[in-house]
Structure 1
Amino acid sequence: MTMTSANKLLITLLSSVAVAFTTACSPVKTLNAIIPSDGYTLAKGIAYGALPRQKLDVYIPRSKDSVAKPIVVFFYGGSWDSGDRADYKFVAEALTSKGFVVVIPDYRVYPEVVFPEFVFDAAKAVKWAKDNAEKYNGDHNKVFLAGHSAGAHIAAMLTLDSQYLASVDLKPKDFLGMIGLAGPYDFLPVKTDRLRTILGPEDQRWKSQPINFVKGDNPPMLLMVGLKDDTVWPRNTFNLAAKIKEAGGPVEVLQYPDYSHIEMVAKLAKPFRKKDDLLDAITNFIESHTVASASN
């Protein structure tokens, strides 16, 4: 295959993946079919609660050493009304390739539930990850929260509004950091009836906005944003970061001028990695805060 035809194939596949993320079509399964599976073992369909969507998958990097690894709990997007953990094998492969244990939970979505129930599900999932870390060669003291789009919103809510983790006897500082890709953090007013239903009555919708819970005492946050994102406006990232900085909290923003909303997660997939820029930034964040925690 020539370089030109290879590039055309990748562009076509990336376009198909974008369609898959927005319509739940099959091209994302095509992408996952070409993702390597030899770098990890998979523990699949583990219950973290009693309900059908309260299940998760754990990807454990294959390693010759027995040193407990940092854990990344990754929440996928889907406008809080769709998503399937199996579709995010490509994210798990990326992170396990860097030596991290990866937990990808499903969580209940609309119309089964509305806000804030999916955030409470997420709290249960991270509680499970902490409690069961050592069974999967993970370190329960080195757990990071991460997500893309609606999943970044969920990770940010866990990080900034302590009520959710308190419901499972945890607190935000029990985690070493949060990584948000293309997240909606400050997006009122909403403009569709569907989102109005998902986020609840107008006088209560402020509770769904991570920016409203900034106190400056959060764990370190890495907020990553594509400047060509016309799905979740980049101002969500910039506004949240500014509020955290104003409050004296730790936050870092990384901008990707040429990336769209979908590319902010799809570029983690091995065929699309561009000098590993997204993946390397996430890896550096995790490793630096893992080292910092060990010295405290």
Structure 2
Amino acid sequence: MRRLLLVAPVAVLVAVAVLLAATEYVVARPSHRTKNVAYVPATAPDFDPERHVLDVYSPKKPAPTAAGYPVVLFIHGGSWTSGNKNIYTFIGRRLAKQGVVAVVINYRLAPPVHVPEQAADCARALAWTVNNIKQYGGDPARVFVMGHSAGGGLAALLATDDALLAAAGLAQNPVRGAIMDDPAGLDMYSYLKEMRYSNDAQYLVPFGKDPAVWKEMSAIYKVRPGMPPFIFYLGGETYPSISGSSGRFRDRLKAIGQPAPYTIIPGRHHIPMVLQLYWQHNIIYQGLLKFVGA
């Protein structure tokens, strides 16, 4: 199947989470989860008590240095119209167990909002993380972003769009690196201009009909010297649109003298690229831990 299909079906992810729940308690013991922390003030006119919240997963052991543990902010996928942080507790637990403070966020979904508002939500969550993560054992000077599917596209915007972060109160980009797990949406401008497949109109729901917005929300057009480093993990059997845009993104990084590690995992489809993060010693964690200096 060659069409985009960016959504990792939530029902599938929920079913897998239920099946794995029996072992989750054992894994949870080395970490502490702080749930449903609001990253937008409740007094804000657009505050959403369900979507403007995040969870923090901290190692129970004190950090080996006074600076604290490295931090990874994870953004879920779901084609910009679905998904929930509560599906991804296993990622927070595995990262905390391996010496990383994990921040797993919700953001508003389309409809009624569009991708620019979602990107703004992610930027606000990043600002909260920088300003507050010290009290959870994290090092605010070592904050990384990570995303799967549509979350990968949003994470890439945090690493590349300084104006987006400035609007959230961040005078400088605090992102130290970006981990791309089968990312979608890196170049929605080209994708939506082509409209190659019969169901592509569904992506006009989150992106709208203005090509200028498609381009503004595509991180590939924001690649420039001096931006944070990227690391890519792609499924060998993922969708052509994801592998194609990721490859073009990598080429643009090379063109500015910033080559990015780029790992293709044979036989992996799109959904298993995030489900494999249930296992602590998989290849993504191995590379991630080195990347963040855990």
Aligned to 1:136: 136
Alpha-carbon contact 1:91-1:268 (below 8 Å) kept: yes
User: 30, 41, 64: which is aligned to 1:39?
Assistant: 30
Specify the SS of the correspondent of 2:239.
coil
Secondary structure at 1:73 match in 2: strand
Question: In the comparison of the two structures, how many residue pairs are matched?
Answer: 266
Judged with a 3 Å threshold, the aligned counterparts in structure 2 of structure 1 residues 113 and 231 are, in CA distance, closer, same or farther, namely farther
**Equivalent residue number for residue 283 of structure 2:** 277
Structure 1 residue 218, shift from structure 2 partner: 0.9
Which stretch shows the higher mean deviation, 202-211 or 84-93? Answer: 202-211
Cα distance change on mapping 1:23 and 1:142 into 2, 3 Å: closer
**Distance in structure 2 (CA, Å) of the matches to 1:161 and 1:123:** 10
2:207 maps to which of 180, 189, 199: 199
Identity %: 29
Q: For residues 235 and 21 of structure 1, what CA distance do their matches in structure 2 show?
A: 18
Structure 1: tracts of 5 or more residues without a match: 1-19, 291-296
Q: 1:168 to 1:197 in 2, by over 3 A?
A: same
Residues 172-216 of structure 1 show CA distances to partners (whole Å, capped at 9, x for unaligned) of 642211111101212432342220231122432222211111112
* Partner SS state of residue 261, structure 2: strand
CA gap 1:231/1:242 in 2 versus in 1, 3 angstroms: closer
The 1-side partners of 2:211 and 2:96 are apart by 42
Letter aligned with residue 99 of structure 2: G
When residues 48 and 39 of structure 1 are mapped into structure 2, their CA distance, relative to the original with a 3 A threshold, is same
Equivalent of 2:11, from 20, 24, 31?
24
Please, what TM-score do these two structures have when normalized by structure 1? 0.84
What CA distance in whole angstroms lies between the structure 2 residues aligned with 1:127 and 1:182? Answer: 25
Match of residue 57 from structure 1 = 55
RMSD of aligned Cα (Å):
2.0
Q: Could you say if the C-alpha distance between residues 143 and 189 of structure 1 is closer, same or farther in structure 2, counting changes exceeding 3 Å?
A: same
Q: Is the 8 A contact 1:147 1:153 kept in 2?
A: yes
How do residues 64-103 of structure 1 correspond to structure 2 at under 5 angstroms? 64-65=62-63, 67=65, 68-103=68-103
Q: Check conservation: 2:57, 2:102, Cα contact below 8 A.
A: yes
